[in-house]
Amino acid sequence: MANEAKPCPCDIGDRMEYGGLGQEVQIQHVKAYVVKPTAASEKAVIVIQDIFGWGLPNTRYMADMLSANGYTAVVPDFFLGKEPWSPSHDWSKFQEWLEDKKPTNINKEVDVVLKFLREQCGASRIATVGFCWGGVATHHLALQYPDIKAGVSVYGIIRDREDRHELKSPTLFIFAEKDEVIPLDQVTVLEKNLHDKCSADFQVKIFPGQTHGFVHRKRDDINPADKPLIEEARLDMLNWLRQYM
């Protein structure tokens, strides 16, 4: 789900056989995957899952990549143990499944994770990175939490909210040109309104020829034609975090 008004027919893509370098922990009522950098760091990133849940190896791979670049990375289970979406599920039931998993209803869990990162991981500068469902959540948090230093919303967009362009923290929006869920006209409207109404730094970037999920669900090692754009998007994410953290 990357669009509140039109849930996406998400393809799980190239699911990785990947075990992860971190560990699973319990943070009050929230389970989370946590991976720390080799050297102590005051910088941390909350990595927000897509509809396939916190256990998707692709998402944990992204957390490990952030850790390798000097960040404590945490992937909370924002579904709180509820079953994630599966490619085998019936899309006609998606809205019913989504009802108790709104990406804009996670503040309680975010507060718990922020406290954990500050008090137990020594983090004083915290950002968010989210994919699909998590991209919507990242956009939401950028409107709510001025103390979050930066956000990267990857193919996610809030459409139906009055203050959706009033970002409180610098936010990078990454979109795919051929995303069937987020048409380019929506991206154009978002960018225009951000220019008109947003006082925080932002960037909207569209990747030509790419489809929904390309940054984290498409494996660069088996998609050589897409590899340069996958790598560029991931580098953009890292550079944005470096710039604002």
Catalytic residue ranges: 132, 179, 212
Query: In whole angstroms, how far apart are CA 4 and each of 1, 98, 232?
Result: 7, 10, 27
CB half-sphere exposure, 53, CA atoms < 13 A: 13
Q: Which amino acid is at 217?
A: R
Nearest to 228 by CA among 204, 241, 209: 209
In this structure, what are the phi and psi dihedrals at residue 75, rounded to the nearest 5 degrees?
Answer: -110, 95
Burial 191-224 (b: 16+ CB within 10 A, else e): beebeeebebebebebbeebbbbbbbbbbeeeee
CB atoms within 10 A of CB 52: 23
CB half-sphere exposure, 234, CA atoms < 13 A: 23
| Residues pairing with 175 in the sheet | 206
Q: Give residues with Cβ within 8 angstroms of 130, minimum separation 6.
A: 47, 48, 49, 136, 137, 138, 151, 152, 153, 154, 156
